[in-house]
Amino acid sequence: MNCIDFRRAIFTNPRQPDESARAHSRECAACRDFLEKQREMDAELFAALQVPPPDGLADRILVARGLRPGRRPWAWAVAATFVLAAGIAWVGGSLTGGDPLGREAIAHVVHEPQSLTTTHAVSNDMLPAMLADQGMKAVRALGQVTYARFCPMDGRIARHVVVRTAEGPVTLLLMPEDPAGRRRALTHVDGMSAVTIPAARGSIAIVAATASQVLAVEKALIVS
Amino acid sequence: MFLSVHSAGFETVVRAYANDVFRYLYWLCRDRNVAEDLSQETFARAWAAWEDQRDEKALKAWLFTIARNEHARLYERKRLDVDPEADLDAIMSRNDSDPALAIDIRRAFALLPEAYREPLLLQVLGGLTSAEIAAATHSTEDAVNMRLSRARKSLRQLLEGAPAPSARARERNR
């Protein structure tokens, strides 16, 4: 791949360059810089497109369908500070090995790459409250929260949170509604690592670029 | 029992996707009231077809396709006048860390030809793959990739001060 092909490919999708584009960026500093700038621009575009939705939109849709709005998800007042949204996890074919929930968690993060590039600070009060809702707490501050959304995973809603740690972004997928009884499992897929752990209520998946990052965050979480 | 499981799944999807569907529709029609009405229509159709929807992984693309069709249906019924710069300065998101930059980006985005803007919207906002965008827009994956590439190039040029793509080019690309 030459520089022109690389830039065309990056303009098409800066989030998921293919292997030949990744190989080119390792060898070409100018194209690496181009990729970083384009990713920043995509993150800025994503943020700029986030027009505030009308309050109570989902409730009105459900009422209009004759479906009584269910019990509101946890801490709706806090949730109102960030958007309900999601991506159903889907990544083509290369996922192998490891725990199914870990694979799904990695696929989810790969499919929502803007979660890792967005750098807007989100209230740090939220994560301890979410952990407490699952009977857990962090024994130390994990880092600045820069992303928080509700996402559907396996038919349930997961709280998708990204924390900026000193070693880089780490994703926590908090699933209080996940049936109890999961075993701890470590998964490595597509150059990413995930550890899935049972919480006092539900499960938690921790995803990052390296196993040491996920293990460091796992170590900081205890039953409260 | 079945109805309750059935509706619980739909409620999960509404709560997860309603805001993204609204945003997508907003950027198509640039009118909050119309976007909310179309969001209602989108989920009404989704609910009507919910029992037949089996592919959980394709749910988001399915909803965005319904939303796009609802917008097109409305467009067929009455000509929507969209002022490319209308309302853009008034949109303030709590997430705008740099409001001036956000306004510049929204203005530049609004100036893109529709044929460029829509696939970019579906990819950046909806997280759809090129194949899903091609299916939703009745196009080919190669054509979608070309439009995405040109969209980002044009957006970058606009933000760097280059003139907007010409009206003729915009018309050609509709």
Interchain CB contacts (distance < 8 Å): A and B: 152
State whether residue A93 sits within 8 Å of chain B by CB. Answer: no
Q: Cα(A94)–Cα(A105) distance, rounded to whole angstroms?
A: 14
The string of pLDDT tens digits covering residues A124-183 is: 778 888 899 888 989 888 888 888 888 877 767 788 899 988 888 899 999 988 876 778
Contact A90/B at CB under 8 A:
yes
pLDDT in tens, B137-174: 999 999 999 999 999 999 988 888 755 554 444 444 44
pTM over 0.80: no
pLDDT at B168: 45
Q: Is A23 on the interface with B (CB under 8 A)?
A: no
Asked if the C-beta of B45 comes within 8 angstroms of chain A's C-beta atoms, the answer is no
Q: What share of chain B is helix, strand, coil (3-state, %, to 5)?
A: 70, 0, 30
Residue A60 to residue A81: CA distance in whole angstroms: 19
Look-up: residue for tokens 């077809």? B49
The alpha carbon of residue B39 is apart from the nearest alpha carbon of chain A, in Å, by 8
Q: What is the ipTM of this complex?
A: 0.80
* Sheet containing A144-153: order of strands: A144-153, A156-165, A168-175, A203-208, A192-198, A185-189
DSSP string over B55-81: -GGGHHHHHHHHHHHHHHHHHHHSPPP
Sign of CA dihedral A20, A24, A30, A35: positive
* Residue of B4, B55, B152 for testing the chain A interface, max A β-carbons within 10 Å: B152
* B109: chain A residues, CB-CB within 8 Å: 45, 48-49
